[in-house]
Structure 1
Amino acid sequence: MNLKVPVRWGIIGCGDVTEKKSGPAYQKTDGFALKAVMRRDAAKAADYAHRHKVDKWYNDADALINDDQIDAVYIATPPDTHKYYALKVAKAGKPCCIEKPMAPTYEECLAICEAFDEKNIPLFVAYYRRSLPRFLKVKEWLDSKKIGEVRHIHWHLTKSPSAVDISGEYNWRTDAKIATGGYFDDLASHGLDLFIHFFGDIEKVNGVSLNQQGLYSANDAVSAAWAHKNGITGTGTWNFGTWKREDSVTIYGSSGTIHFAVFDDEPLVLENTEGKEILNIAHPENIQLYHVQNMRDHLMGKSMHPSTGHTGAHTNWVMDVISGIY
C-alpha cells in the first residue's frame, strides 16, 4: 500500500493489554504515530488518551474507523468482537492488526481474511513471539541444524486457579461465550502459533478438552497431539487447575535438544554433541515492539511480516480441532 509516513494508528479497545505491552510500541516505532483510541467507557478512553498523550479519544468505534486522520486500526478488544470490528475496518479500506486469538472460531477468521483479501489490504495478528529476539534465536538454532533433524516438540503449561477464578468473579477470558477456549485459547495460542512459525503448518491434530474444576464455563484441561506437514510431531498439555505453575518446552532433534519457556523468563538451553549453551535474552519493555516495527517494515514494502491474517487463522484451526469445535 502507498501509505504516507507517519502511518497514523487508532486503537479500538484501549484496555490493559495496550497499557504497556502494545500501545507504547506504536509511539516508539519510527514511521508510526498513535493518534486516537476508543473505549466504550468515555471516561476511561479520555483517561487513557491523557496519560499516553494521544491526540483524540472516542467511545464510538465507527467514528474512529472512519476518521480521515486515521490510516490503520489495531483491534484490542475481547475476541468475540474481533470479526465485528475487523469487517468494518476492511470496509473502510485500512490496514489492521487484530489481537490474538484472531477470533473465537476458525470460521470467523476465514470471514475476516476474505474481507481483507478482497481489497488487498494488509492484515496482521498480534502473535508477537514470532518477532521477539529470544524466539528468533531458537529458530536460528533450528535452521542451522544445531540439534540435527527435528523429531518432536513437547510443551507442558500448568497454573493454579487465580483468586478471581475461585471467587467466581466475572472474567471474560473464561467466559465460553466470549473466549470459546478460555485460558487455552488465550495462552496456548501463543505457543502453538510459535511452533507453526518454527516448523510450518500443522497437517494432522487431535485433542481432548475438559472442564475439570467447574469454576467457569470454558474448559480448563486440554491435551493434544499433532503433526506438521514436514513430519515433525508435537504434543502439548495445558491445565489451569494444578498446584503450581510450569512452562516447559523441549524440542527433540536427532543430535540434541532445545529447552525454553513460552511465557516465563527462563534461559534458552541448547544441548548437543558439542556440549551445552545457555542464553538469557531479555524481552523489550513493550513486548510488542518488534512486532510493531515489523508491521512498519511490511507496510513500507521492506519485508514480509511473519504474523498475518492467514497464519493467525491457521492457528485458530488447530485450536478449534483440539477443542472439538471444528
Structure 2
Amino acid sequence: MKQTIKWGIIGCGDVTEIKSGPAYKMAEGFELVAVMRRNLKLAKDYAERHNVPRFYNDADELINHPEVDAVYIATPPDTHRYYALKVANAGKICCIEKPMAPSYAECLDIQTTFERQNLPLFVAYYRRSLPRFNKVKSLLEEKAIGDVRHVSWYLSRTPSTLDTSDTYNWRTDGKIAPAGYFDDLASHGIDLFAYLFGNITCAKGVSGNQQNLYTAKDIISGSWEHESGVVGTGMWSFGTYKREDKVRIIGSEGELSFSVFGEVPIEIITKNKTEQITIENPKHIQKFHVANMAKHLSSDFQHPSTGATATHTAWVMDKILG
C-alpha cells in the first residue's frame, strides 16, 4: 500500500464542506485528490475552494483514476450500494456515509463484497471515534455508575420548514429513507449503543406516519437487548412541540446522561455526588474518524466503525421498523 493514500469523494455536497471533507486533507498519510458531483460547475467550485486538483461529474472517472486509492461515498443512501460495488470492483478502499444503505439486505451485500475481496470498508458512524463518547465508554468500563441495567433515548423535534413546504427532501422520501429522520438520525445513536454495550441480539418496534407531511415514517418506538444483558428503549418523534435529545444510562450505583447530537455536558449522578464533564467536538466532526482510518490502514489499530459494525446497525434498524 502506498505511503500516502489518495482519496476521492463522490457527492461533494453540504456534509463534506465542514463535517468531513477537510478531515481527509488533515489526516496524516491521506491526501484528497478528486471530487465528483453530477453538476460539473458545482464540482469545480468545490475543488477550487478546497484546493482539490481534480473534479468530475462522472463517478466512474473518479473511481477508476489510477491515482485514486480510496473513495468516500457521500451521496444519499439510495445510491450507496451502487457506488460501493463499483469501488469494490475497482479494488479500492472505501468509506461510506451513514446510513450505509437503506436496508440491511443492501448493507450485507456491500459488506460481503468487500470481505470477499479483502478490501477495507469503513462507515462514517464517527461518534465511535469522538473523545466525548469515548469518555462515556471509559466511564462505563470504570463502573462509574456500577453495573449497567438499561439505556433509554428520547429524541423529538418540531417539523422543519422543509417538512411543511414543497421543497424536495430526500431524508423524508419513503423510497430513499423509508423511516425518514429515523434512518438519518437514530442510526447514529443505535450504532453508538452497540459500541458502548456490545451487539444487539434482539430488537422490535412500532412505527407510523402521524403528520402525513411526507411519505416516510415520522414516529418510531423500539426496544432491544444487548449481548451484555443491557436492555434498551427508544422513542423518536419528528412532529412534536419542541426539540429534545436525552440518553439516560441507568446502573446499579447511579446514572449517566448525555445528548447524542447536542454538546451538553455528560452528567453522572450517584448517591454521593453529581458531576458534569464537558468535552467539545472538533470543528470538523469527522476528524477523529478519518484519522482513525489512517491509523487502521498503516498499523494494527482496529477502526471502531467498519462495514461489519454498520451492517449490524442496519439489522437492528430493520428489526425496529418491522
Q: Tell me how far apart the structure 2 counterparts of residues 83 and 232 of structure 1 sit (CA, whole Å).
A: 32
Counterpart in the other structure of 1:234 = 232
Q: Tell me how far apart the structure 1 counterparts of residues 75 and 272 of structure 2 sit (CA, whole Å).
A: 47
Counterpart in the other structure of 1:31 = 29
Q: Secondary structure at the match of 2:285?
A: coil
Tell me if structure 2 keeps the 8 A contact 1:11–1:37.
yes
Counterpart in the other structure of 1:199 = 197
Identity %: 60
Task: Find out whether 1:253 has 2:251 as its counterpart.
Answer: yes
Residue identity in the other structure for 1:177: K
CA distances 1:136-155 after superposition (whole Å, capped 9, x unpaired): 00000001111111000000
Q: Secondary structure at the match of 1:164?
A: coil
Offset of 1:273 from its aligned partner?
3.5
Q: Tell me how far apart the structure 2 counterparts of residues 247 and 5 of structure 1 sit (CA, whole Å).
A: 42
Offset of 1:54 from its aligned partner?
0.3
Residue identity in the other structure for 1:188: A
Residue identity in the other structure for 1:165: D
Counterpart in the other structure of 1:67 = 65
Counterpart in the other structure of 1:171 = 169
Instruction: Provide TM-score, normalisation by structure 2.
Output: 0.99
Q: Tell me how far apart the structure 2 counterparts of residues 72 and 290 of structure 1 sit (CA, whole Å).
A: 18
Q: Secondary structure at the match of 2:163?
A: helix
Flag as ranges the 4+ runs of structure 1 deviating above 2 A: none
CA distances 1:88-118 after superposition (whole Å, capped 9, x unpaired): 0001111100000000000000100111011
Q: Tell me how far apart the structure 2 counterparts of residues 119 and 290 of structure 1 sit (CA, whole Å).
A: 27
Q: Name structure 2 gaps, 5 residues minimum.
A: none
Counterpart in the other structure of 1:138 = 136
Q: Tell me how far apart the structure 2 counterparts of residues 31 and 275 of structure 1 sit (CA, whole Å).
A: 44
Tell me if structure 2 keeps the 8 A contact 1:168–1:215.
no
Question: Number of residues paired by the alignment?
Answer: 322
Counterpart in the other structure of 2:283 = 285
Offset of 1:49 from its aligned partner?
0.2
Task: Find out whether 1:129 has 2:112 as its counterpart.
Answer: no
Offset of 1:268 from its aligned partner?
0.4
Q: Tell me how far apart the structure 2 counterparts of residues 144 and 171 of structure 1 sit (CA, whole Å).
A: 43
Counterpart in the other structure of 1:265 = 263
Q: Tell me how far apart the structure 2 counterparts of residues 302 and 275 of structure 1 sit (CA, whole Å).
A: 40
Q: Tell me how far apart the structure 2 counterparts of residues 33 and 207 of structure 1 sit (CA, whole Å).
A: 43
Counterpart in the other structure of 2:54 = 56
Residue identity in the other structure for 1:281: I
CA distances 1:178-233 after superposition (whole Å, capped 9, x unpaired): 11221001000000000000001101111001000000000000000111112110
Counterpart in the other structure of 2:214 = 216
Instruction: Provide TM-score, normalisation by structure 1.
Output: 0.98
Counterpart in the other structure of 2:115 = 117
